[in-house]
Structure 1
Amino acid sequence: MDPTLYDFIGAEIKTFHREAPWERLKVPYKQLYNLATSKVPTNSSSSLEGIHRDHSNAWRFWDSLTLTVFKIPSEWMKEDSNKLYNLWKPLHKYGDISYMRFLEPSENGPTTTAVVRFFPIPRVPFWQPFNEIQIDRMVFKVRVDPYMQNPLTRQSSFSTVGSRYNRFVQLPLFSMTIGQSYLDKLVPLFGHESGTKLHDILLLVDFKNKRFILTFKRIVENVVDEYRLDFYFRNIVDDIGIDTENSRVSLSFKYRLPPVLFRKDVLGSETKLRKVWSSSNLWRRQVDVVPSSNSTLPSESPVQLLSYANAPLGRSNMAVFSYDIRNKQSEEANAIFLGELEKFRLKSRMCKISVYSIDDYFARCALLYSNTNISHIVLYLLEQCLSQHALSEVDLPVLLDGLSTLKEEQAIAFLKNALASEKPLHKPTRETFSKKLTFFDPYSTSSMHIKKIVLTPTTIRIMDDSIELGNRVLRKHIKFADRFMRVQIADELTKIKLHSDNSNCEAVFARVYQLLNKGVKIGNRVYEFLAFGNSQLREHGAFFFASTPEQNVEKIREDMGDFSEISSVSKYAARMGQCFSTTKVIKHFPVEIAPRNDITRNNNCFTDGIGMASFSVLRCLSVQIDNDDLLPSAFQFRMGGFKGVLGLAPPTKLEYHQGNLVFPRPSQDKFKSPHEDLEVIKISRFSNARLNMQLITLLQGLGVETDVFLNMAKHQLSELNSAMTNKQKCILMLRDNVDENRSSLTMADLIQAGYLERNDIFTRNLLNLYYEWVLKSMKEKQRINVSNGAYLLGVADETGSLKGHCDDALLSIPEIFVQVTNNHPEAEAFSNKRTRTTIIKGLCIVARNPSLHPGDIRICRAVNCSNLGHLKNVVVFPTTGDRSVPGMCSGGDLDGDEYTVIWEPSLIPKRVNYPPLLEATPKRAAKFLKTKPTIDSVKEFFIYYMKNDNLGVISNAWKAWAHDLHNNPDGIYGNVCLQLAALHSQAVDFPKSGVACSMPRELRPKQYPDFMQKQQSRTFKSETAVGRIYQYTVKFHKKNEANWKFDPNVEMVYDDRMKLPKYKSDYRQIATEVKGRYDFDMRALMNRYDIGSEHEVYTAFILFNDEMKTSVNEFAVREEIMLLYDNIKKCYKKEYFEKCGLPDNSNDQDIRDRIDSAVAAAYDVTYDQRSHSIQCGKEFPLISFPYIFVNVLCRIAHLAAVSN
């Protein structure tokens, strides 16, 4: 094995292994490393005496240099002055200014002070010898403060010992080349080897932010532009290669995703507007290296993968940097640089760098879009292979020629095998195409697959097809399903939304505008913008469609409905998006519409979004969606232009139940549409209430003691530990903490059936995953289960029986009705599925997520009301009183909102019903146009939303300020928190209202509590309830994490009870075939959401990685995954039993034996595949398929127990 640089850190000077990089570099690493680090002053002393010491030369060893400038005229800070530009203009010629700010002067003070930071350090000590500078004939005293430099950062390395490392290392480069890895050589696309002339190339290694920063200048037509490329360590694959030639060193590395590209704005004009300024304001995101005058001009052609630009950075996956080590400065920087990289798991090895030059790269790219001899599906798959670097455009002449000689089925098999291969296929020959290849067709007729791409600033990533539950538009145009496409706009990481202010991302937004206006070309089709749903907009995504002579985007939009009466572009877009809601249609069940009026009072709508349905409608719905629970009391729906919730009509009024009747209201009627099918989004179900960071923060501010929350957290973790080794406690815990997906009940059934005792690896990993998910949720979200609580769909009291909120009352406590399923009356009741309900009485907390304002927490009184006894697993709100209770819960309504209801006495706050936040969001949507909205205005609104999407920034700021009691002593009642709560409410409604909000600079946090885990920001230890829970959970996790490790890659243990069914051999072939398609859909779902294991999909206990959890709405993603996977399970259950010629259930004993045999056959196939993969050393196959038949598995276990 090749030695690495780490081997030489402790070696004696001049002692080297023969094949190590340092043996060839002839650099005494330890000597240089010690020399370089010993010269750097440290910050160990906190005494101010250090300011007066002689630091005339010490600054030369700092990463950055900070000047404090005194007695600046206060007039420079006024609105009509040039502000920081007065400093930037005369000083920026000495070096790169990274940060400037004015310190606030004392009241009416004539002067102020400014801080100016240079990074890297300036070229000359312009402030010497008198520590002063001259600006516009004025002389200002300055101070170089060594205690502000922080030249070295102390951080734990990957060893057990603390490690000092430099924050930054600079290396002037001789050359730089970026290109594609091809046959372990470099195909140059940009830089020295491609003939591109670059100047002043500098490599900056930013250890703090774990990235390489490459800056260079390019001169085009006498215009000098400076660019920056950021390569993040986490994207680097394999080792760093080192090649040497005399005194020149070349470093090479491959990366998964393209670098992030910026161009520098040298004018510094923004400094005229700011009192605080950072150099990041100068860097503008780019999509290509083009002259600054053309960087923001949208193209007139569709976006495509292979462009004809001069710097196809998006197609690169390899970089080579070359530099000299002849001078002392480079030697020292090189020693530190390569040594420190070891601590970030970037090992190095000797590697000869070879170049594979081609002169006609762009001509080869053009071949892809001029080919007419190959079908679209083959061209699409070819382009997908190129986008994922499974194939290279270098081989396009050979690839296109070879594919044209194959039949379509053979070409598809060739390309899908290339996609599935672990290594890229380079330099194919005629023999490559002559091989007979087969590829299992994974697509099931039971599920819908839609094409998906991700557009990033520099490239397009063609993803695996997206699994769809279905929506109205897709079902209506099912014969064109292969022409629909999901398009998501993301940063280079592909999973992260673009986050930037309006000014530094114009070139990227020009690319987005090009996409929306001109479409995207893949193969020989151009996909055009169609529309977007509300959830898609929040994730910066939309639907596209490739038009045909028979069907196009205009016809599809016309078929959705009549939107002509809508005058707001945001509502116009939202109403079109309503047609793309993920739904399941109730088949062959026409309903009669009988409209009812809304209940309104004092300009309040008490039935906003809620209607009624007859008993027969609820019964049919329950049958068609295979609901094994109680008859649902309500469901969220779409029907034509109607949307919202329909609740079970009062049974006392017989006229409501004389037929298949639905009773929508005007608040549910959004537009006119010819579609009459009843579509279901979700039904009402019971799940346990959970506290989270926001609720805990608000409740503590309202008077609940810190120890209450901490004791709840400790109790839950203690019970969790006990349950892992005690079967009965485990079952009780899972029954007592029902999640939205009811996965805990499924796990309880499997454990009750003895699968955990028999070391069933799938069940064990489900439990271990639950353990890890609970710990992760408590650590990151402070999520605590509340047994005396529920999370329920909200409905209205149609009988008018409940007392509502009264404005005139001294202490108004409105009434609600809550009747919930009791899942754990006694252990022996589990298996026979007896359903019991409990009516809640007494004071309750009612809240909606998200809640940031103290008035969002409402106290209500749960009462027993005989007129409402037909409603179960919903929270019924009053329709009497002066105000709507849902409206006071952070602006909620009844069109599908779910509410946390808690009746735990210890959590009832001392301060009851603080005045709610009612007017934060405009009631009427903003109008952007004087005329009616058009599809062009919808595209503009999409970009406008992307530019002003500040919801996450505002939410994080509120978290920080609410716990920063030093700078905000009043906590949630402080003016800054109340302002942020109002802004957050506005940001939540931005997609519908069209009213954007920006967060003022003064509301940005000064520091962050430890539980937010902002490692690169100023943090403090939080002593609030949330902080205490976080700190306790971290200690608990460290102590117990090794005990119950979630590990899906372990060997299965065969369960002998599966030998009992006697007809298994009849179904093995069918099981193999259907399991293959199920596995494909499961992997597609995992890839779509970047999920690491099938267990996470099966339970919706998603262990989001750090990148995902900061960029997506976890609850919304979990909800979407639940819907999609629930559909997958139902489809494959149906397909499997149909192919086996069996019903899914029967009272006939022989048929039941055959059903058991079919499921046991699926188990056997899964076990055999897993065992074979272990023996052959292959990737483990998925094993969840037999567990979609949980009821049958439990029955087999029961029969085995009886027979024994």
Structure 2
Amino acid sequence: MDRTLLHARAVIEELGDFGHIRSPAKCAARIGQAFSQTLSAITISGDAIMRIPDVERNGRTFSDGCGTCSPDVLAQVWEGYRGARGLKPTILQIRFQGAKGVISLDSRLQGEKLCLRRSMIKFEGSTDTNVEICGASNKPLPMYLNRQVIKILEDLKVPNEPFLRLQAAAVEELRQTTVSPLNASTFFHRNRIGTAARLSFLIKKLFYWGFDFIEDHFLRDTLETAVLVQVREIKYRSRILVGKGWTLYGIMDETGILKENQIYCAAHLDHGIQVLTGNVVITRCPALHPGDIQVVEAIKVPEDNPLYYLHNVVVFSSYGDRDLPSKLSGGDLDGDLYNVIWDPDLYPKQISPPADYPIPEPINIGRPVERGDMTKHFVTFMENDTLGMIATLHQILADQAPTGTLDPTCIKLAGLHSSAVDFSKTGIPVSRMELPKYPKARPDFQAPGPRVVIDKCVGFEASEDPIDTPIETDEMDEANSFGPPRIRYYPSNKVLGKLYRAIDEHKFFAQIQKQSSRVEKQDHSLIERVWQYVSKKAALIEWTHYTDFAKTVKEKSAPSSLRPPSFPRIQIHSANIN
């Protein structure tokens, strides 16, 4: 092994040329881009790289962060990217040399072509020929409501009943998880719980062999804990699944077929490709401004149009005075995910104009950035990061204001939140002195746990404490639960309060524990009976000559301090067990 001492400066110089960047915050972000997680990489010829112009209009970049690729390049990705095999995504989030963004299939391109736009190029100077895959549109992601989106929809005249109905359905589905092994297996698979241990497969296989995993204390406790965590996600974060909704990558229409306020949205499902048509709701998280939720028209495209071959994506029009992604909480197309809803019950009765925040110019120090400049920026960022404080304050005031998120104070906080999001890249902090005073009490749905006492007589008066008094004191309240809490909570009469109070987690947990105790006590443990079953089925299979080899592998793969105590292990070379 070649042992070479590497200094940080030498490593950064190999990544690319950052000398032209005069902002410490921006320079740190660009360097960090090279260290973001990637799933795989493919190598393509340098001749395949093409630079194409951005689509700009009225000072807006409609193609901000997206490019295209030819079928030949995409085929190489399908072959070399393990996550794409069998799924064949047509939308990829990539990192190549100093470029970052999303590329989509353009069936009109011939040969090997990877088309990058100027908006995708973050820095120059890299000589790496690998196209690194950061993500792919393998399937449509589920769409979950959250408190920000629910509050805005409520203020846009969506009634309470659809939210309560969706939450009740989600809780009932969790309750049914413990009713049967197949429900439990589906739950683990959908929520990616125990994926490395193949927990979903194990439970399903045990069921086919005639065993119920509930008989095993560990597996039963795992299920009950996972279900309770999901219930708490719904109760304390309002994370509610929308069946008629997707979360997808966004790109720009390269063909020009989409008109202003039109989208093309298609998803590859088990039964085939589903294309949305008609009016749909579209948004992006985080959403604090009422204009962050818009209604647009989804259309089909002819079969001879290149968009027809794309799936698991929402395609935005390249026309209009302003690009639609920027209207949705300042989104772009370099990998942002957009939420699309086609549930008529969640359509807003009114639409608010989108926010139009000025694009902040990063701090310019007038010279090349040095390591000390970036270190100082990180310290400044940690001292002045107000993002969580603004979001919490916005939620409190939106609950108390008659017009909710449409209140001028909430509109101001939405703008400050946008600036706080950009702080890490601009170096411009949001002063706490710009924030309004927070009220003495919070709505009950912000309570950190079930032990909080709700005061029905508390008022909404503003606190006389200075604004730099910590808002985030939930952990301290729980730690001091024997004394009076520093934060007082009142029952909110808005939809978030109703959703919060509709779930009794203690009652729910008692119900699933009762359902889990359905199995009669057995003379032998589950693992012992599984071992007996497998031994019987594998009685005529030659496998004992692999015992010594298996022991060697086991001993080499785990440190002695981490090895579990010995117990019967299933060691089968080849078997077809039905």
Instruction: Give the superposition deviation at 1:1003.
Output: 3.6
Cα–Cα, structure 1 residues 848 and 742, in superposed 2: closer, same or farther, change >3 Å?
A: farther
Structure 2 counterparts to residues 153-232 of structure 1, below 5 A: none
Identity %: 29
1:580 aligns with 2:35: yes
Tell me the equivalent position of 1:155. none
Match of 2:508 in 1: 1037
Q: Is the 8 A contact 1:636 1:645 kept in 2?
A: yes
The answer as to whether partners of 1:845 and 1:858 remain within 8 angstroms in 2 is yes
TM-superposed CA distance for 1:605, in Å, is: 0.9
TM-score by length of 2: 0.80
Distance change >3 Å, CA 720–CA 585, structure 1 → 2 = closer
Instruction: Return the alpha-carbon distance in structure 2 between the equivalents of residues 892 and 759 of structure 1.
Output: 47
- Which of these residues, 679, 687, 705, is aligned with residue 132 of structure 2? 679
Determine helix, strand or coil for the equivalent of 1:869.
helix
2:116 is aligned to 664
Summarize deviations over 1:809-861 as a string: whole Å, max 9, x none.
Answer: xxxxx1212221324x5xxxxxxxxxx22112222221111111111112122
Cα distance in structure 1, aligned partners of 2:416 and 2:548: 59
The Cα offsets for residues 913-957 of structure 1, whole Å up to 9 and x where unpaired, read as x111221x5342222x13232222111111111111111111111
Q: CA deviation at 1:727?
A: 5.3
Matched with 1:1011 is 445
AA aligned to 1:666 is R
Partner of 1:1096: none
Instruction: Report the equivalent of 2:23.
Output: 568
Decide whether the 8 Å contact of 2:40 with 2:81 is kept in 1: no
**Aligned match of 2:425:** 992
Shift of 1:665: 0.4
Structure 2 partner of 1:638: 95
How far apart are 1:908 and its partner, in Å?
0.8
> Secondary structure of 1:1200's match?
coil
Cα separation, 1, equivalents of 2:430 and 2:348? 32
Render the CA deviation track for 1:584-643: whole Å, top value 9, x for unaligned.
Answer: 442554452011111111111111111112223323323333225521111111111111
Match of 1:926 among 363, 372, 376: 363
Aligned-partner Cα distance in 2 for 1:768–1:615: 46
Q: 1:1171 to 1:987 in 2, by over 3 A?
A: same
Shift of the 944–712 alpha-carbon distance from structure 1 to 2, 3 Å rule, reads same
| 1:847-926 to 2 correspondences below 5 Å | 847-866=283-302, 867=305, 868-912=307-351, 914-919=352-357, 922-926=359-363
Asked if the contact 1:817–1:877 (Cα under 8 Å) also holds between the matched residues in 2, the reply is yes
TM-superposed CA distance for 1:991, in Å, is 1.0
Asked whether the 8 Å contact 1:747–1:767 carries over to 2, the reply is no
Measured after TM superposition, the shift of residue 767 of structure 1 is: 4.2
The yes-or-no answer on 1:1055 pairing with 2:527 is no
CA deviations over 1:758-785 (Å, ceiling 9, x no partner): 2345765664454223202102211111
Give 3-state SS (helix, strand or coil) of 1:1033's partner.
Answer: coil
Residue correspondence of structure 1 range 1126-1137 to structure 2 within 5 A = none
1:260-299 to structure 2, matched below 5 A, reads: none
Q: Would you say the 8 A contact 2:174–2:231 is kept in 1?
A: no
Q: Which ranges in structure 2 are unaligned for 5 or more consecutive residues?
A: 448-473, 478-484, 518-524
- In the alignment, the residues of structure 1 paired with residue 369 and residue 239 of structure 2 have an alpha-carbon distance, to the nearest angstrom, of 43
Please give the per-residue CA displacement for 1:428-472, whole angstroms capped at 9, x wherever unaligned. xxxxxxxxxxxxxxxxxxxxxxxxxxxxxxxxxxxxxxxxxxxxx
In structure 1, how many angstroms separate the alpha carbons of the residues matched to 2:269 and 2:402?
A: 43
Task: Kindly provide the CA deviation profile for residues 175-215 of structure 1, in whole angstroms up to 9, marking residues without a partner as x.
Answer: xxxxxxxxxxxxxxxxxxxxxxxxxxxxxxxxxxxxxxxxx
* AA matched with 2:353: P
Contact 2:267/2:312, CA 8 A, preserved across alignment: yes
Secondary structure of 1:891's match?
coil
The whole-number CA distance in structure 2 between the counterparts of 1:819 and 1:748 is 29
Higher relative contact order (CA 8 A, sep 6+): 2
Which of 259, 265, 269 pairs up with 1:822? 269
Q: Is the 8 A contact 2:194 2:200 kept in 1?
A: no
> Counterparts of 1:740 and 1:734 in 2: how far apart (Å)?
6
Other structure's SS at 2:502 match: helix
Deviation at 1:567, TM superposition (A): 2.1
Structure 1 residues without counterparts, runs of 5 or longer: 1-477, 481-547, 805-813, 826-835, 1084-1165, 1174-1182, 1187-1191
Residues 391 and 417 in structure 2, CA contact (< 8 A), matched pair in contact too: yes
CA distance in 1 between partners of 2:180 and 2:212 (Å)? 14
1:859–1:771 distance in 2 versus 1, CA, 3 Å: same
CA distance in 2, matches of 1:1078, 1:820: 41
Instruction: Evaluate the alpha carbon distance shift between residue 1054 and residue 677 of structure 1 in structure 2; reply closer, same or farther with a 3 A threshold.
Output: farther
Structure 2 partner of 1:321: none
* Residue of structure 2 aligned with 1:718, choices 172, 186, 195: 172
Query: Once the 2 structures are TM-superposed, how far is the Cα of residue 730 of structure 1 from its aligned partner?
Result: 5.9
Larger Rg: 1
CA contact (8 A) 1:755 1:763 kept: no
- Which whole-Å CA distance do the structure 2 matches of 1:734 and 1:903 have between them? 27
Partner of 2:492: 1022
Whether contact under 8 Å (2:442, 2:488) holds in the other structure is yes
- Letter aligned with residue 33 of structure 2: Q
Please, what TM-score do these two structures have when normalized by structure 1? 0.40
Match of 2:520 in 1: none
Q: Judge conservation of contact 1:701–1:972 (CA < 8 Å) in 2.
A: yes
Contact 2:178 2:512 in 1 (8 A): no
1:510-659 to structure 2, matched below 5 A, reads 550-590=5-45, 592-627=48-83, 628-649=85-106, 651=107, 653=108, 656-659=109-112
CA contact 1:818–1:874 (8 Å) conserved in 2 = yes
Q: 1:1067-1102 CA deviation, whole Å, 9 max, x = no partner?
A: 55555565677778xx9xxxxxxxxxxxxxxxxxxx
Which amino acid in the other structure matches residue 90 of structure 2? S
Q: CA separation in 2, counterparts of 1:844 and 1:742?
A: 35
Q: Flag the 1:974–1:618 CA change in 2: closer, same or farther, 3 A.
A: same
In structure 2, give the amino acid aligned to 1:904. D
- CA distance change for structure 1 residues 1068 and 636 in 2, over 3 Å: closer, same or farther? farther
Map Cα deviations across residues 1080-1130 of structure 1 (whole Å, 9 max, x no partner).
8xx9xxxxxxxxxxxxxxxxxxxxxxxxxxxxxxxxxxxxxxxxxxxxxxx
How far is the alpha carbon of 1:1041 from its aligned partner?
5.4
Q: Secondary structure at the match of 1:551?
A: coil
Inter-partner Cα distance in structure 2 for 1:581 and 1:854? 32
Considering only aligned residues, what root-mean-square deviation do their CA atoms show, in Å? 3.4
Please report how far the alpha carbon of residue 958 of structure 1 lies from its aligned counterpart in structure 2 after TM superposition: 1.3
Quickly say closer, same or farther: Cα 1:1071–1:782, change in 2 above 3 A.
farther
Cross-structure match for 2:415: 982
For 1:174, the equivalent position in structure 2 comes to none
Measure, in 2, the Cα distance between the counterparts of 1:689 and 1:1077.
Answer: 43
Query: For the Cα contact (< 8 Å) 1:1051–1:1170, is it kept in 2?
Result: no
Query: How far does residue 969 in structure 1 lie from its aligned partner after superposition?
Result: 2.2
Distance between the aligned counterparts of 2:300 and 2:194, measured in 1? 27
